[in-house]
Structure formats: C-alpha cells, structure tokens
Structure 1
C-alpha cells in the first residue's frame, strides 16, 4: 500500500481533508471516520489518521473528486462546533495509530498460561553439564544522542568519527570529561586578533545583521493579529510547509519515546542549542545554502559536535557564544545576540516553526556526507518528537529563554579587557599620527621658508650680477672718468681692511667681536635694502666731507671708536646704477666704510 499525499484544514464547523491519489479509480474508494479515527482506501492508496479532535457523521459530510488533479476533498463535521484542532500540520503524528495510555509492559505472562498441569510437564534432567559461574564486567559505555538513548554507535564508525564530532572515543568518555575537554579546546582555539578585527572592521557584520529571515515577518504578523483578536485559536497558520517538507514528514516512521524527567530536560536544552546554530547559519549566508552550511551548524552546536548534555539554558547560551567567537568566519558578539533573539521568535511561533527549521537541518545533513549520521542520532528523532509536544511546553521554554541574560563577561574569554586595551592602543596610534602630521607640516613650512629664502638669494645674486655689468659699462665713459663713489667701493672691495688701530682684517670675516669680548654679532643686517642704501649713502657723503678737512680725522676716529663700543649689525654693500636703484654687491660680512676712509686719508696725507 502507498501512503498518499494529504493536507488538513479546518473552519469552526468542519475538518477538511484533501488527499492526492493520481491514477486511482474514483468508483472504487472507501472512507471510514468515527471519533478520532479516519481511514481512506483507494487502490493502491491507503491512509489512516488519528485526528487531534473528534468528528461525527450527521449527514453534513461531503466528498468530491477532481479528476484532472486526482484530489479527493472530504469535509467532516466536528462533534463540537467551534472547537480548534491543534497540530493539523504535524503529519507524522497524525499517521500514528492511537497510542495506548497503559503503563503495562508490552510482554507479560498471562494467568492461564501459568497454570500448567503436572501431566504435561517434562521430566527435569538432573545430570546436565554445569559451567562454573564467572562474573563478567561489560565495558561501560556512556550514552549520547537524542535523550541519551544511544551508545556504541561510534565504535562501528571510527572512520567517520573525526569528520562529524570533535570528541574522540565518546563511548568511553563521561559527560563531565566531554565538557572539560570542550572548554579546553575552545580556549585554545580563541584568537584575539581575529575577534578584534571583526570588532573594529564590522561593515560586513552590520550588513548581515540587517538580513530578515522568514520567521521575522511571520512573528510580526502573529503579534499584530494576537493584539487585535486576543484569541490564539482564531489566528491563521503563519508557518506553511512546502510539498517537499510534507513528503519528508510522511517518510518518517512514527515512534514513541520513553523519557524520564532528566532526559526530557536534556532534549529541550539540546533543541535550543541546535536552533541557535541554525539561526546563525541562516543569517551569515542570508538564507542560501552552501558547502559550509553543514559544518557551521554542527560546529556551533555543542550538542551535535561534542555530544553535550546541558543542565541549564544559561549554559547553552554560553556554549554557543564561545563557539561563535572561536570557530566560524564571522566572530562577533552581535551575531550571538541576534541568533538568541531569532531562536526566541521561532519558539514563540510554535512547534510548526520549530519543525520547519528541523526539517531544513535534516535536509542539509542528508546532503552532506558523513553528517547524515547526526540525523540518525538527533535530528530525525527531534522531527518526530516535536510533533507530539504540547504547545504550552514550548511556550514555557520560550519564556524561560527570553528571561535569560547573556553578556560578554559570561564568555570567559576576557572580551571586555581585550576591547579596552585595543581602544587604548588605537587612541595612542591616533595621537602619534596627529603628532607626526604636525611635525610634517612644520617641516614642510620650514622647507618652504628655506626655498623662499633661496629664491630671494638667487634673485638678489642675479640682480647683483646685472648691476656689476651695468656698473662696468657706466664706469667706462668716453672721457675715461670714473665715478668717485664707485671707485671708493671698488677699492673697498679689493683692498685689505684696516681699522683705526692699524690692525689688518681678512675679507672673509663673518662676525665682529663686541668690545667686551663675550659675544659676537653677525654683521649682516636684517633691515630692508632701501634703508641700507640710504644709511650707506649718508655715511659715504659724511666721510667725503670729513676727508676734505684735516681736522675731520679726529672726528672720524671718535665716531669709529663709538661704533666699536656700541657695535651694530653692518649693512650689505650696495651700489647705485644709472637709475639710482640699490643692488647687492656682496653678501659676505663687511667692515665699516668709515674705518676704511680714515685709513685711506692718512695714506694720502
């Protein structure tokens, strides 16, 4: 028999069942329904459902068949009009037979069979061979998997072990040692440089945080409708399964799980851990699947990668946060908190949203070799189990998760200290760069000033050369006369420098000693060239007047003596061209022309 594709929907009065049976004979079908049981048969298809509510046969039932699409549509009246049937999209649980609520063992000894007659009992052989009893200690194997119901699996799969989980020899490793080894591996894997790089250069992270997966819109719609109607049962379904997902659910074999309270706690906490890893994978790849999707999910979930059994929601969040900061490409704490809020939304949407995520994980693992082993250990059982979970249980789990807080200090990786140190280093680098920029600007300014002075010097030298050539042309006149002032300056340029005391001064003297001998003052004056020309012209004229009078020597000597006692920076020598403009003749230090004139007048006398 073939189980056909089917779909259930409801309104306040009817339950509608749509069954797709292509190539079936419409004239040969049979329908049976009573209470919670529904059966449909059309060769070669057979469908048996256990409904979440009771239906009744009262003459209002209807059935129709679309020959083009091959779909039977059956409307069944509800026994209690207005009753809401929960879990109509949980196809695997609907396919299961009505479960027995008895706690009796499946195999038990009947009373009649225990009363055997002595006549039919065979004679006991007292001479049978006996074997001495030896106490054997079987190898202790620690359980793992869904509800810790499996053990010994990885003894048969040693080749695939390293590609699926991180722990070695899980059958011989207790839960506490697994946790200790996991924490040590995470601490060794954490890279501060990678974390700080994502912390400061977070453009790609901000882009990923803006992505909106399908559950965000569904959660907004559900919140808006609940705020308007305040009636949860009247809301339309916000999670719709595709035909591929429905086919996945039909292929699952329904089974029941005998779980104690501790095992159920491990299952709920493991579910949170798996959903956190799945939310991270969907966000960083923006909903697309790639070859790393399987690795991301199983690597970020300690339940899948280390066969971890958690004891609290806070431990789950800390484990997930540490693994996000140690293993994947993007290691940012904002991605941890966003996956946390996404998981809360999924749980708030109900078990349909949780089942849709688990079916997607199942598909990812099925297409990745050898990750399919994790489907056998965890995901398939989760897909079957979640369909039977009561909605109020998931609502309580969602509320507890929402109340749990998570911060960087809980990671145990000194993230806040690392960030503070990195910020200090960054501020120091900025200060050094700013200081370097200021010094560079100062250097550029000094270079520009130097270049300006060099340009002015070159300009003045060129003007000096031009003035020299002009002087030579003007000094040689037709009658051979030479300008007296230019002749004096020409002699002063070539003649040795003699002061009033008869001392000889070299032409390369760069500074003039002050009378007290303690300091030296440069002879070059910073005064403008125009003023220097006027001062020099006045000194020459006064010297010429003094040279004509004999008694002027004493006056000149007194003036020179006063200048020696109070030295002032000497101006550069200038000459006047035909236009009367002052030009540099020499930039080297020069003596006072009055001293030279005094000495020349004495020689003439």
Structure 2
C-alpha cells in the first residue's frame, strides 16, 4: 500500500482533509471515520490518521473528487463546534497508530512453564569444574545521541565520524571529560587578532545583521494578531510547510521515546543549542546554502560536535558564544546575540516553526557526505519528537530562554580587557599621528623661512666671491696654487666651521672669517640680535686667546676637525706654508678685534 500525500485544515465547525491520489479509481474508494480515527482506502492508496480531536457523522459530511488534480476533498463536522484541533501540520504524529491502553506489564515472561516442566528439567551437575573468580570490569560505553540513547556507534563507524565530530573515542570518554577537552580546545583556538579585526572593522557584520529570515515576518504577524484580539493564535497560521517538507515528514518512521526526567532535560537544552547554530548559519549566509553550511551548524553546536549534554540554559549560551568567537569566519559578539533573539522568536512561533527549522537542518546534513550520520544520531529523532511535544512545555522553555542573560564576561576569553587595550593603543596611535602631522607642518614652515634668507646670502656671497676672483686673477695667474686654494676657501665658506674648542658653528660665524659679504648675510639671519652679539663676542675672545698662544699652536688650533685627525705638520714647514700662502690664515702677533670688525665693515661698504 502507498501512503498518499495529504493536508488537513479546519474552521470552527469542520475539519477538511485533502488527499492526493493520482491514477486511482474514483469509483472504488472507502472512507471510515469515528471519534479520533479516520481511514481512507482507494487502491493502491491507504491512509490512517489519529486526529487530535473528535469528529462526528451527522449528515453534514461532504466528499468531492477533482479528476484533473486527482485529489479527494473530505469535509467532516466536529463533535464540539468551535473546538480548535492542535497539531494538524504534524504529519508524522497523525500517521501514528492509536496507543493501546492496558494495564498489562511492559515486560512479561512468556509461557516457559508450558514448555518446560519440573519433571523434564535436567538434574543440576554439582561436580562441574569451577574456575577461580577474577573481577573483569566490563568495557563501559558512555551514551550519546538524542536523549543519550545511543552508544557503540563510533566503534563501528570511526573512519566516517572522525571528520564530523571533534571528540576522539567518545564511547570511552565520559561527559565530564568531553566538556573539559572542549573548553581546552576552544581556549587554544581563540585568536585575539581575528576577534579584534571583526570588532573594529564591522561593516560586513552590520550588513549581515540587517538580514531578515522568514520567522521575523511570521513573528510580527502573530504579535499583531495577538495584540488585536488579545488571544493566542496557533503558529500553523503563520508557518507554511512546502511539499518537499511534507514529503520529508511522511518518510519518517513513527517512534515513541521513553525518556526519564534527566534525559528530557538534556533533549530540550540540546534543541536550543542546535537552533542557535542554525540561526547563525542563516544569518551569515543570508538564507542561502553553501558547502560550508553543514560545517557551520555542527561546528557551532557542542551537542553535535562534542556530543555535549548540558545541564542549564546558561551553559548552552556560553558554549555557543565561545564557539562563535573561535571557529567561523565572522567572529563577532553581535552575531551571538542575534542568534539568541532569533531562537526565541522560533520558539514563540511554536513547534511548527521548530519543526520547519529541523527539517531544513536534516536536508543540509543529508546533502553533506559525512554529516548525514548526525541525522541518525540527532536530527531525525528531533523531527519526530517535536511533533508530539506539548505546546506548554515549549512555551516554558522559551520563557526560560528569554530570562537568561549573556555578556562578554561570561565567555571566559577576556574580551573586555582585549577591547580596552586595543582602544587604548588606537588612541595612542591617533595622538602620535596627529603630533607627527603638526611637527611636520612646523618643520616645513621653519625650513621655508631660512631658505629665503639663505638664498639671499648665497647670492650676495657669490657676487662678492666673483669680485674677489676678478681682483685676484693677476696675482694668482702666476702661481697655479692660488686657483685651487680659492676653491678650498669657497668650500669652507659653505661648510660648518669648527671653532678652537672643537664645537661646530653655523654659517654666520664662518662668513665673518671668509669675507664682508658673508658677514652681511649672517647679520641678516633670523637669529635674535642679542644672540648674534653674544656669538660675536665669543668669536672675539677666542681670537684673542689664539693670538696669545704661540704661532704654531694658534694655527693648529684653528684647523678643521678633519685636519686635527691627521698628523700635525712640523712647525718649520707649517710656518713656511703659512708664510707662502698669506690668504690661508694671517694671524698677527697681537691682533686688535675692533680693528678686525671695522675693516670688515669697511670692505662691505
């Protein structure tokens, strides 16, 4: 038999069932309904439903067949007019057979006494060989999966699952050790540079946060209707399943899960963890799927990646936040809070919205080669289980999630300290940059002012040197050493002068020794008049000290630093050079500084 595609809708008085049976004989079909049971048969199609409310046969029932579409539309009256049937879109739950209610024990002994009687039992052999007792601890396998109902899976599929989960050998690793290893791996993976780059350069993050998935519009519509009528509305009016999603639900095998209180707690918390990872994936890819979608979901969910069993909602949020800041491409705390708000919206929309998200995750994992195993461990069971969850339980879970708080200090990664240090460094760099810009501008201004005075002084000195060269041509033409010596004087006039004490002086002081035109350029320098007089006085005193020294020492003391480093010439030879080259340095036995200044000024005039 083939289970046909079907769809259920309702109004205050009727339940409408639309069944698609292409190529069936419309003349040969049977319909049976009573109470919560509904059965339909049209060869080769058979449909049996357990309805969430009671229907009645009172003459108002109707049935019609559309030959073009190949669909039956059956309208059945409700036993209690106005009653709302919850969960009409939970197709897997509707296909489940009605539970038999009996006080019969779940485990009972079959008729063993009928097969074996006391007379037919063999006599016990008291002389059997005995083996000394040895305590062999059995290999303990730690459970995992949906409701911690699985174990030993990774021993058989170790090669396939090594690329899906991060924990190695989970069958032999208890839950506490898994958590300890997970926290250590997250701390080692965290990169402060990556986090700070996304924190300061967040243009792409702001763009992603503007994306609106389908549940935002559905939540707005539900909130608006509840505000108008002041009544709660079922989410099925705002959540629509596609035909592909309906086909997924029809393929699921109906199951019942025997979960104790602790296991149910783990299942609810694992559901939050998976939804948070799914909301992050939808946000960063703006609803599109790519090859990294399955990796994002399973990597951000510690339930899927580390087979974690959480004990509180706060632990779920901290785990998700840490993994967002350690693994994916975009590591921003704003994406963590956005995924949290999206998960709250999905839970407020009800189990239909949760089921729609789980079906999408199931499809993503099914199309990824190693990740499909996670469907068998978790997602398929979640898709079946959520259809039977009471809406009040889901609403209580949503309320607890809304009350939970999450901040950066909870991550344990010193995010606030990193941000404060980075902002301080950024402020210092900006201050240094601003100071460098100001100093550069001041340097440019100070360089532009001396360049003008320097240009005028160089012009005047060149003119003076030109006149001196014209006057000295007859005297130096006879001796070739005069031309080369004049070039030496020109070089020394532009180079910084070293005084007798070995300290460098500016071009203004060297101009006094070189000629009147250079002294005039020095007098027009931008230095204050008081400073200039002090420098001149120092020059005069130094010249007087030189005059009092012996001739050889005075001459040797006034040479440049380069000449001081070279060996000192003999006094006789040096005196001959000084006498032969009167233009080099003429030092009278007792020069008069005032006469020196007056003669210099007269030469300028």
TM-score (norm 2): 0.77
Once residues 449 and 537 of structure 2 are traced to their aligned partners in structure 1, the CA distance between those partners, rounded to angstroms, is 31
Alpha-carbon distance change, 594 to 487 in structure 1, aligned in 2, over 3 angstroms: farther
SS at match of 1:382: helix
Once residues 295 and 446 of structure 1 are traced to their aligned partners in structure 2, the CA distance between those partners, rounded to angstroms, is 62
The 10-residue stretch of structure 1 (541-550 or 373-382) with the greater mean CA deviation from structure 2:
541-550
Tell me which structure has the larger Cα radius of gyration. 1
Matching of residues 57-72 of structure 1 within 5 Å? 57-72=57-72
The 10-residue stretch of structure 1 (369-378 or 516-525) with the greater mean CA deviation from structure 2:
516-525
Unaligned runs of 5+ residues in structure 1 are none
Alpha-carbon distance change, 102 to 524 in structure 1, aligned in 2, over 3 angstroms: same
Once residues 338 and 538 of structure 1 are traced to their aligned partners in structure 2, the CA distance between those partners, rounded to angstroms, is 77
* Alpha-carbon offset, residue 436 of structure 1: 1.3
- After superposition, the C-alpha distances for 1:501-554 in whole angstroms (9 at most, x for unaligned) are 999999998588999999999655879999999999999999999999999999
RMSD over aligned CA atoms reads 10.9
Unaligned runs of 5+ residues in structure 2 are none
Alpha-carbon distance change, 477 to 13 in structure 1, aligned in 2, over 3 angstroms: same
- After superposition, the C-alpha distances for 1:1-46 in whole angstroms (9 at most, x for unaligned) are 1111000000000000000110001001111110000011111111
Alpha-carbon distance change, 134 to 103 in structure 1, aligned in 2, over 3 angstroms: farther
* Alpha-carbon offset, residue 598 of structure 1: 11
Alpha-carbon distance change, 256 to 453 in structure 1, aligned in 2, over 3 angstroms: same
SS at match of 2:233: helix
Matching of residues 503-582 of structure 1 within 5 Å? none
* Alpha-carbon offset, residue 439 of structure 1: 1.5
Once residues 160 and 312 of structure 1 are traced to their aligned partners in structure 2, the CA distance between those partners, rounded to angstroms, is 31
Once residues 466 and 236 of structure 1 are traced to their aligned partners in structure 2, the CA distance between those partners, rounded to angstroms, is 104
Alpha carbons 2:209, 2:283 under 8 Å: kept: yes
Matching of residues 247-326 of structure 1 within 5 Å? 247-326=247-326
The 10-residue stretch of structure 1 (532-541 or 120-129) with the greater mean CA deviation from structure 2:
532-541
- After superposition, the C-alpha distances for 1:222-263 in whole angstroms (9 at most, x for unaligned) are 101111112224776110000000000000000100000000
* Alpha-carbon offset, residue 434 of structure 1: 1.3
- After superposition, the C-alpha distances for 1:151-195 in whole angstroms (9 at most, x for unaligned) are 000000111232011001100111011111111111111111111
SS at match of 1:16: strand
- After superposition, the C-alpha distances for 1:36-69 in whole angstroms (9 at most, x for unaligned) are 0001111111110000000001100000011001
Alpha-carbon distance change, 340 to 149 in structure 1, aligned in 2, over 3 angstroms: same
The 10-residue stretch of structure 1 (40-49 or 521-530) with the greater mean CA deviation from structure 2:
521-530
SS at match of 1:39: strand
Alpha carbons 2:222, 2:233 under 8 Å: kept: no
Alpha carbons 1:560, 1:594 under 8 Å: kept: no
Matching of residues 303-382 of structure 1 within 5 Å? 303-382=303-382
Once residues 133 and 529 of structure 2 are traced to their aligned partners in structure 1, the CA distance between those partners, rounded to angstroms, is 127
Alpha carbons 1:41, 1:47 under 8 Å: kept: yes
Alpha carbons 1:36, 1:51 under 8 Å: kept: yes
Matching of residues 46-195 of structure 1 within 5 Å? 46-102=46-102, 104-109=104-109, 137-195=137-195
Alpha-carbon distance change, 170 to 589 in structure 1, aligned in 2, over 3 angstroms: farther
SS at match of 2:517: coil
Alpha-carbon distance change, 464 to 18 in structure 1, aligned in 2, over 3 angstroms: farther
Alpha-carbon distance change, 495 to 360 in structure 1, aligned in 2, over 3 angstroms: closer
Once residues 526 and 108 of structure 2 are traced to their aligned partners in structure 1, the CA distance between those partners, rounded to angstroms, is 123
Q: In the alignment, is residue 21 of structure 1 matched against residue 21 of structure 2?
A: yes
* Alpha-carbon offset, residue 440 of structure 1: 1.2
SS at match of 1:513: helix
Alpha carbons 1:145, 1:378 under 8 Å: kept: yes
* Alpha-carbon offset, residue 433 of structure 1: 1.0
SS at match of 2:558: helix
Alpha-carbon distance change, 485 to 48 in structure 1, aligned in 2, over 3 angstroms: closer
Alpha-carbon distance change, 73 to 509 in structure 1, aligned in 2, over 3 angstroms: closer
SS at match of 1:307: coil
* Alpha-carbon offset, residue 597 of structure 1: 14
SS at match of 2:179: helix
* Alpha-carbon offset, residue 104 of structure 1: 3.9
Once residues 565 and 522 of structure 2 are traced to their aligned partners in structure 1, the CA distance between those partners, rounded to angstroms, is 15
Alpha-carbon distance change, 538 to 476 in structure 1, aligned in 2, over 3 angstroms: farther
Alpha carbons 1:514, 1:565 under 8 Å: kept: no
The 10-residue stretch of structure 1 (109-118 or 185-194) with the greater mean CA deviation from structure 2:
109-118
- After superposition, the C-alpha distances for 1:432-490 in whole angstroms (9 at most, x for unaligned) are 11121112112221232233334444666799899999999999999999999999999
Once residues 316 and 472 of structure 2 are traced to their aligned partners in structure 1, the CA distance between those partners, rounded to angstroms, is 101
Alpha carbons 1:279, 1:339 under 8 Å: kept: yes
* Alpha-carbon offset, residue 137 of structure 1: 3.9
Once residues 122 and 304 of structure 2 are traced to their aligned partners in structure 1, the CA distance between those partners, rounded to angstroms, is 55
Alpha carbons 1:8, 1:16 under 8 Å: kept: yes
Alpha-carbon distance change, 473 to 40 in structure 1, aligned in 2, over 3 angstroms: same
Alpha-carbon distance change, 316 to 573 in structure 1, aligned in 2, over 3 angstroms: farther
Once residues 121 and 538 of structure 2 are traced to their aligned partners in structure 1, the CA distance between those partners, rounded to angstroms, is 159
Alpha carbons 2:64, 2:74 under 8 Å: kept: yes
SS at match of 1:482: helix
- After superposition, the C-alpha distances for 1:285-323 in whole angstroms (9 at most, x for unaligned) are 110001110010000000000000000000000000010
Alpha-carbon distance change, 602 to 309 in structure 1, aligned in 2, over 3 angstroms: closer
- After superposition, the C-alpha distances for 1:331-377 in whole angstroms (9 at most, x for unaligned) are 11111111011100000000000000000000000000111110000
Alpha-carbon distance change, 83 to 496 in structure 1, aligned in 2, over 3 angstroms: closer
Once residues 471 and 536 of structure 1 are traced to their aligned partners in structure 2, the CA distance between those partners, rounded to angstroms, is 29
Alpha-carbon distance change, 461 to 571 in structure 1, aligned in 2, over 3 angstroms: farther
Once residues 320 and 291 of structure 1 are traced to their aligned partners in structure 2, the CA distance between those partners, rounded to angstroms, is 21
Alpha-carbon distance change, 544 to 440 in structure 1, aligned in 2, over 3 angstroms: closer
Once residues 83 and 551 of structure 1 are traced to their aligned partners in structure 2, the CA distance between those partners, rounded to angstroms, is 129
- After superposition, the C-alpha distances for 1:68-91 in whole angstroms (9 at most, x for unaligned) are 011110000000000000000000
Alpha carbons 1:498, 1:596 under 8 Å: kept: no
